[in-house]
Each structure stands twice: as structure tokens, then as C-alpha cells.
Chains A and B, each alone.
Chain A
Amino acid sequence: MHAFANPAKFLSLAKVLTPWLFWGGLALILVGAGCGLFVTPADYLQGESVRILYIHVPAAWLGMGGWTGLAIAALMQIVWRHPLAGVAGRAIAVPGALFTAICLATGSIWGRPTWGTWWEWDGRMTSMLVLLFLYFGYIALARASAEQPGGIGENGGVSRVTAIFALVGAVNLPIINRSVVWWNSLHQGPSITMRGSSIDSAILWPLGLTVIGFSLWFGAIVLMRMRSILAQNKVEARMARLAREAA
């Protein structure tokens, strides 16, 4: 990781990776979603609504994966003072929040025909909603620290308090994961575990394509946002230097 502490080195790799991740991810999403919509059979119990699985599960994975990324970036910022850690944290926050919101929306839409309700205040749904609010809190804190005088140059605009918030918020991740085991829930139990899957392979296979596709696309978006923040940092540093020279 420290090999990429130099933003110039990181940018040269990011410029090559961005289009590959973006178009590769999008292609896999389209193939996986197309197969999930038109090729796989309906579920014997849930019927056609099971097709929402192919977008709901990747959204949940990226909502939680995004916060895992935030927490790792925060740890790298606090412990190793990695110069790109704060930039990565800021870049991950918005796509992570978007996927958490998509997970909640698609889950709610799935719930109506499957359970007969749009929403239930059970452990899984409530803890996922808490994750969305945590993202909002992180985005607000990061924006506030970037707006401080000289803030954006320091750790990409992510203050120590924001980084600590990301680490503390990670406590919610095992709660989301274990919520269907710890509490009675309308939400089904864990379907895919280290020991295998309870989903029939005839329905399961496009899920791999959409999970990988959305993950690659998410990586491309994070790289785009990091490039954007780094370019903005360059402009602001130059402006500050010109202002000092003029004074």
C-alpha cells in the first residue's frame, strides 16, 4: 500500500484501471441482470419477485463493503498517516451511501409481494437503515473538515474525528451480518455462507456475475472520485501559492 503513497504513482495506475473496471463491471452487470430477468426460473415459493435478488444482494454487499473500506482507510490514516487514505475515504462515502439506499429500496420493494409489507422494524432492516445514517454523518463530517481553511490538503479533507467516526461506525457491520441470527426477523436467514449456499444453483449463478460486476464498477467510481479530489487538491494548492506570492 505504501508503494502508492505517492499520488503521481497512484494516478498513473488509476488512469489505466478506471476504464477497464468501469466497462468490465458494466458489461458483467448487464449480462448478469439480463440472465436474472429473462433466463433463470422463478422461485417455487417467492415466484418472480426473486429476480430482485440480483440487484439487492450486490447493493447490500457494496453498502457494507463500502463502510469496511472506509474503516480500513481510516485505520491507515490514523496509524500509518497514508496520504491517500483520507482521499479514498471521501471517495468511497457517496457510492457506499447510494448502495445502502438501493439495498433498502429494493428490499422494501421485494418485501411487499413476498411478505405483504413494505417495511418492518426488525434487526436487519433497522441496522441497514442505521448504516445509511452513518454514511450521511460521515459525508457531513468529511465535508465540514474539507471546508476548514487548508482542510482539503490535510488527509484529503478527512479530519481525525471523521476517521474515528468511520472506525466506530464499523461496529454496526457485524450487527447487520448477525441480525437475522440474533433476532426473529421477516428477513430470511443467511443464504450464502462459508459452507455453501441454500439457493438452488439454477437461480444462483447470475448473482456471481452481478456481484463481481457491481464490485468492479464500484471500484471504477471510487477511482474516478479519488482522481477528482486529487486534481482539486492540486488546483487549490496552486491557488494558495499564488495568493501567498501576491500578498
Chain B
Amino acid sequence: MNHWPFIIAAYLITALGVLGLSWGSWRAMRAAEARADAMRRDR
């Protein structure tokens, strides 16, 4: 049995999870901090 398709699938799932969570967390942080900063400036 060729093991490489299994290895590629495992690494691909991990890469998607890592990149997806990185992007989602970074975007949420930037958006929340921008809202908080804008609110502080408007005070």
C-alpha cells in the first residue's frame, strides 16, 4: 500500500486547521481592537 496519500491527507487537514484558525483569530482580534479604539477616540 502506498502510504503517501495518507500522509498528504493528514498534513493537509492539519495545515487547513492551522491556517483557518490563525486567519479567523487574527481577523477577530483586529476587528475587535479596531472597534474598541474607535470607541475610545469618539469619547
Contact = CB atoms under 8 A, between A and B. Distances in A.
Contacts of A29: 18
Contact of B1 (A55, A113, A217): A113
Nearest first, the 7 A-B pairs at minimum CB distance are A231-B32, A48-B3, A231-B36, A224-B25, A228-B29, A49-B3, A106-B10
Contacts of B36: 231-232, 234-235
B29 A225 contact: yes
A238 B38 CA distance: 12
Contacts of A59: 14
Contacts of B40: 234
A9 B43 CA distance: 22
Interface residues of A, number: 36
Interface of A: 22, 29, 33, 37, 47-49, 51-52, 55-56, 59, 94-95, 98-99, 101-102, 105-106, 109-110, 112-113, 217, 221, 224-225, 227-229, 231-232, 234-235, 238
A106 B14 contact: yes
A109 B39 contact: no
Given A49-B7, A109-B6, A98 B32 contact: no
Contacts of B39: 234-235, 238
Interface in B1-27: 1, 3-4, 6-7, 9-11, 13-14, 17-18, 21-22, 25-26
Nearest to B26: A224
A80 B25 CA distance: 28
Nearest to B43: A238
A201 B4 CA distance: 22
Contact of B10 (A22, A55, A227, A229): A55
A60 to B, nearest CB: 12
B6 A235 contact: no
Contacts of A101: 17
A225 B6 contact: no
A102 B11 CA distance: 10
Contacts of A33: 11
B10 A48 contact: no
B14 A225 contact: no
